[in-house]
Chain A
């Protein structure tokens, strides 16, 4: 499974392309893409140049609800996967050396 991510043009914040065709800071709301549809959706996402500086596909896995993640935590419903999983986990959460910064700071 793939999702589309990018950085918001105005402030560089990490965002994900949602099923509603909008950019969201919640990875959990990202549109889940499967083989055959990735390129067309990416092209659609990239056409929103006024909002994002850069957009690309990343590997992700759905998180099984039994993985004891809290239900209201959007981030926990999708997690980065594949070769770039460390990078994408850090992008989503914030620097591992500064747990007080980034999105992770809100979920202590």
Chain B
């Protein structure tokens, strides 16, 4: 993974020093809250319901064990012993005091981390496939490009006061694990007919109040021109994006108002001017960055572990649970003999994405011992160990199981994305986490989660859609009705390669009704599915009305 050089170290330290002085000016009253707010946001500091919240960047979801240890220490030293993984592969702490945050940021800088641009109307943390560098179906590792974008976008002088936030994702596989079609710019690495690698560029996707699937603005961009092309898109957006209405300020609204063709023409015209202006990196710098991501030599570090055949007969039940976990939570690696291990942060009844400092240390240790020093975070609020040898799987499983991190539910009904909701968030209308907890408990009580198969449930506590409800197979949106919590169900969304926005079905349900409704949907699906058909495919075959009837039956 990328390592800071002298330049990066200096830059991040200088950023902390700058923020320290801004905090001092705020505390002394020289800065008003209105002036301070955008400055603190661009350093990841929010003011939430109970306290400040700090969102730490995990660029493209890649972490070293040392970094994860440092995050655990920060959780203990400045917070209340836990953190929360976000849908941008970042981690946030819910309780730091403003006066401590500069010191916290210095601790982060010690391990080559920062909180730069994790909020604010600027270019946010670039995200990618959590299986990057390990996926069997990938064209090439997308992370060098993510790092190139990270550096270019950091304190960009032209694009730090945009109409609204700006999110970029890079995907390099046929499968889409980065939800790149729902990003303001989605980049897909692909090979053209001549066998050359380049980017398909997608613009105007996004969730929030008005969800859109992104549209292709360029079929093939030579990768060496990535940054100049991004500048062209950002410039058109910065100059023409709406600033009069917060809800109409995102690029998706501009693209739709101009029309894709007119937007494309404007970008291409801009790019012709920009492409030869030394915005793009010279090849040697691209090669320097790419070299940090060369694949680990996988056979060198696989430690001996108890083979499956050696598990004692008395532990047969443990063996069966291990097999269930292996099937649900691990996936094929591009190198034979290896698996990618997903670590579920969705224990039944837990808060989705929450992780304690002790769990962080355990995961860091497993990353060090069994995954060639790499840990990943996923946009579905889980961790992932990208390079685990088959012979170490049981040891990894056992260690995770003891720590409550081996719930076999990746991609299943209880692997729910949920925003923090009204339990923490200043913008939320309703709680999200308790709904996720009750759905997970209900599903667990049925005992047929594995049989239900892939089912993505996503919950947002307000229309800002941080819980990605628009792209849930079952989406749940919290709405406030005269001071009471209600929940609106959407069906048929997908954030994967078969991208779709869910359809709203029927009236809002009370907090008591919504879990029953989800169960009725599951029942309807299990009774009507054919063969191995997924929930989403059954929905697409049978249509919204059939499922809608199921929700409101006897309700």
Smallest CB separation, B20 vs chain A (Å): 14
**Docked pose: A43 CA to B431 CA in angstroms:** 31
A77 at the interface (CB under 8 A from B): no
Q: Identify which of residues 88-108 in chain A touch chain B, using a CB-to-CB cut-off of 8 Å.
A: 90-91, 94-98, 101-102
Beta-carbon contact of A50 and B27 below 8 Å:
yes
Nearest B-chain residue to A46, judged by Cβ: B33
Q: Identify which of residues 335-370 in chain B touch chain A, using a CB-to-CB cut-off of 8 Å.
A: 351
Partner of A95, one of B28, B99, B423, B485: B423
Nearest A-chain residue to B424, judged by Cβ: A95
Beta-carbon contact of A10 and B483 below 8 Å:
no
Question: What residues on B are CB-neighbors of A101 within 8 Å?
Answer: 80, 95
Question: What residues on B are CB-neighbors of A13 within 8 Å?
Answer: 50-51
Beta-carbon contact of B48 and A90 below 8 Å:
no
Binds B, one of A16-24, A29-37, A64-72, A79-87: A79-87
B98 at the interface (CB under 8 A from A): yes
Partner of B50, one of A10, A49, A54, A91: A91
B437 at the interface (CB under 8 A from A): yes
Q: Max chain A CB contacts within 10 Å: which of B32, B48, B51, B95?
A: B51
Beta-carbon contact of A87 and B98 below 8 Å:
no
Nearest B-chain residue to A82, judged by Cβ: B483
Beta-carbon contact of A12 and B482 below 8 Å:
no
Question: What residues on A are CB-neighbors of B424 within 8 Å?
Answer: 95
B29 at the interface (CB under 8 A from A): yes
Beta-carbon contact of A90 and B49 below 8 Å:
yes
Smallest CB separation, B119 vs chain A (Å): 15
A3 at the interface (CB under 8 A from B): no
**Docked pose: A9 CA to B33 CA in angstroms:** 9
Beta-carbon contact of A87 and B351 below 8 Å:
no
Beta-carbon contact of A12 and B50 below 8 Å:
yes
B97 at the interface (CB under 8 A from A): yes
**Docked pose: A95 CA to B50 CA in angstroms:** 8
**Chain B interface (Cβ < 8 Å from any Cβ of A):** 26-29, 32-33, 47-52, 80, 95, 97-99, 351, 422-424, 428, 430-431, 433-434, 437, 480, 482-485
**Chain A interface (Cβ < 8 Å from any Cβ of B):** 7, 9-14, 49-50, 53-54, 82-87, 90-91, 94-98, 101-102
- 19 additional contacts (CB under 8 A) given A12-B98, A50-B27: A9-B26, A9-B27, A9-B98, A11-B51, A11-B98, A11-B99, A12-B48, A13-B51, A49-B33, A53-B33, A83-B482, A84-B483, A85-B483, A86-B430, A86-B483, A87-B428, A94-B50, A95-B50, A101-B95
6 A-B pairs with the lowest CB-CB distances in the bound complex, closest first: A11-B97, A95-B423, A12-B51, A12-B52, A83-B483, A97-B433
